[in-house]
Every structure is written in structure tokens, then in C-alpha cells.
Amino acid sequence: MALNPNSQLAALLNAPMRPGRVDWIGLRPARRQALLPVETAMAVEAQGLEGDRYKTRTNGKRQVTLIQAEDLRAIASYVGLQKVHPDQLRRNIVTEGINLLALKNKRFRVGDALLEYTGECHPCSRMEESLGTGGYNAVRGHGGITARVVTGGQIRVGDEISVADS
């Protein structure tokens, strides 16, 4: 069932949002290899992040993964840890101050790049290995989002994240 574009709910879903910022960036060079934390990454149109194993030439939906710092704190509390480090969840970008799920069906700017929301990033079975017993369930609903690179550009730690003008 399609949402009536003139409804109050549609207006709320399209209401302005405060921008967030990039808190951390990591690249996954290969399967099961340690993430490389970086200060900057180059987003390549229709491919992903330069140096990341998910960079593709098929314009796939999982070119960039993002997770909220707020969710990392929640996950830590669910598994009884003081802190969960971004590399434990193997996401590319940690954000602060923006609800990533509110970007559903939207394009958004991250630094110089334009990204497009493509879905939620669900946990994998490795969460038990990475976070201990209960890790998989701790990440459910808190795994972040996946995105496609619409327009490439530089992404830096500290860059603003904001909804793109329609």
C-alpha cells in the first residue's frame, strides 16, 4: 500500500532533519582481514569505497555500510561490554547525531559524496564470534544501513551528513 504523499505521515517522514557527522571510517581490504581505520576515503560512483572489499563494478546495493555511534553504545550494553569498537561490526562509516533509519528512500550527502539508502544492514553469524554470546541478537535492529554511491567524492572524519535536496 502506497503512502498518500499529502498525508500528515508523509509530511513527517519528509520533515527536515538535523545533520550528523562522520565519527570514524574503516576499510575492509579482504574477507576476515582487520579493518583499516582511515581519516579519509574516496567514494567511487556506482562502486563503493576505494580500497574496500565491497567495492564493486556491478552497482550493488551494499557499496557502503554505515552505523550510528549511538547504536554501538546500545550494543555494548546488550552484551555487557564497556565499549564496542567499530571494527567489531565491520561497517565502513560510524556516524554521530543522525538517525540513519530516517534516511530510508532518501539520498544523502556524506562529505563530498552523494549516497542513496539501499537497506538495513543486518547482523551476520560472526557477531557471536566478535561480541560473544548474544552478539547476534544484540545487533538486531542496531546494525546500521547500506548505501550506494550516486556521486563519488572524498569522505573525511568530521564531515557533515545531511539529506540531499530533492
* Rounded Cα gap, residues 112 and 128, in angstroms: 35
Residue carrying C-alpha cell 572489499: 53
Instruction: Write down the CATH number for the domain with range 18-163.
Output: 2.40.33.20
Q: Is beta strand 64-68 parallel, antiparallel or unpaired with respect to 93-96?
A: parallel
Residue carrying C-alpha cell 551528513: 161
- Residue 135 and residue 88 in contact, taking contact as beta carbons nearer than 8 Å: no
Q: What is the pLDDT of residue 16?
A: 83
Helix, strand, coil fractions of the chain, as percent rounded to 5? 20, 35, 45
Q: What is the pLDDT of residue 31?
A: 79
* Rounded Cα gap, residues 164 and 166, in angstroms: 6
* pLDDT tens over the chain, length 166 residues: 677 888 888 888 888 889 999 999 999 888 778 889 999 999 999 999 999 987 777 778 989 999 999 999 999 999 999 999 998 999 999 999 999 999 999 999 999 999 999 999 999 888 999 999 999 999 999 999 999 999 999 999 999 999 998 5
Q: What is the pLDDT of residue 166?
A: 57
What DSSP designation does 112 have?
T
Q: What does the H/E/C string look like for 33-100?
A: CCCEEECEEEEECCCEECCCCCCCCCCCCCCEEEEEHHHHHHHHHHHCCCCCCHHHHCCCEEEECCCH
Sheet holding 48-49, edge to edge: 48-49, 40-44, 153-156
- In this prediction the pTM is 0.92
